[in-house]
Amino acid sequence: MSHTVLRLHPGPPQEVDLRGLYLRQELHRQGSPHAPFVYADFVSSLDGRIAIADRVPAELTAARDLRLLLELQAQADCVITHGGYLRAIGEGRLGDILKIGAAEHGSDLRDWRSGNGLPPQPTIAIASASLDFTMPPSIASDTSRVLIATTRSAPAARRRAWESRGYRVLVAGEGRWVEGGPLTRALGALGHRTLFLLAGPRMLETMLRHAMLSRLYLTLVHRLLGGEPPQTAIAGPELRAAGRLRLQTLYQDATGPDGVSQWFAAFEPER
């Protein structure tokens, strides 16, 4: 994939290679088990419509954005996903990218991990309050690589069923949803330093509210989508101060999905 993008921030403007753009940020060297580096990635239209597990608009889909997502995933000790994504895989609505190096635009990334002292594959942590999902083939055969995070009120029979199959189940929340603070601390206690959120708005929200998010990557496609109901990157009540972000990097891609331009941006919360 040969392509350049224009770095706008920090200046001065400069053309840089897209391939390796996020690998060069060396996220795998960030964080510690006591304070994991937690980062997320979303793609959005100008009116705030995002790609989610049960709907990925074709207008937001591009190989270059996928390449950057795979570069972010490749740097993680642990990838946090959710039951909605696994259900979408099982129903054929989304592709399975949980195995590093398997996707078409990321075939080099397993070698990159090896060259940077990382194990061939990251741990996969599945956040699910209902525990109602099917394990995809890419991870089903390796129970040692998979953790399941749920709440104290999760169905006991389903929890026992997953444990009987050899999966470790963590409790990371008391109510209806898996919570960012307990989940981050539990994964850190297991030695994970970098956590990538391959999840939805609910996980992003709880990580922000619990002051666990370290960086948000956002691909902003320069078009308006419309449609009902709208799905934005945040679910739940107002974030107020927890939602304050500061721009870290900004790149412009002149030709994004369907020929429109797009920005690749990264933000960090203001503590």
Q: What is the pTM of this model?
A: 0.95
Spans of the chain, pLDDT less than 70: 1-2, 53-55
Pairing of strands 194-197, 37-45: parallel
Delimit the domains of the chain by residue range. Answer: 4-269
Give the C-alpha separation, 263 to 94, whole Å: 24
Q: What is the pLDDT of residue 232?
A: 86
Question: Residue-wise over 143-156: b if at least 16 C-beta within 10 A, else e?
Answer: eebbbbbbbeebee
Write out the E strands in 14-91: 14-17, 37-45, 78-82
Q: In this structure, are residues 234 and 205 in contact, taking their beta carbons and an 8 Å threshold?
A: yes
- Residue position matching structure tokens 């399975």: 96
Q: What is the pLDDT of residue 93?
A: 85
pLDDT in tens, 150-186: 999 999 999 999 999 999 999 999 989 999 999 999 9
Domain 4-269: give its CATH code: 3.40.430.10
Task: Please choose, from the candidates 76, 18, 12, 81, the residue with its C-alpha nearest in 3D space to the C-alpha of residue 253.
Answer: 18
Q: What is the pLDDT of residue 53?
A: 56
> What length does the chain have?
271
Which residues neighbour 81 within 8 Å (Cβ) at sequence distance 6 or greater? 98, 124, 125, 126, 127, 198, 199
Q: What is the pLDDT of residue 174?
A: 92
Both tokens assigned to 51: 């790609």
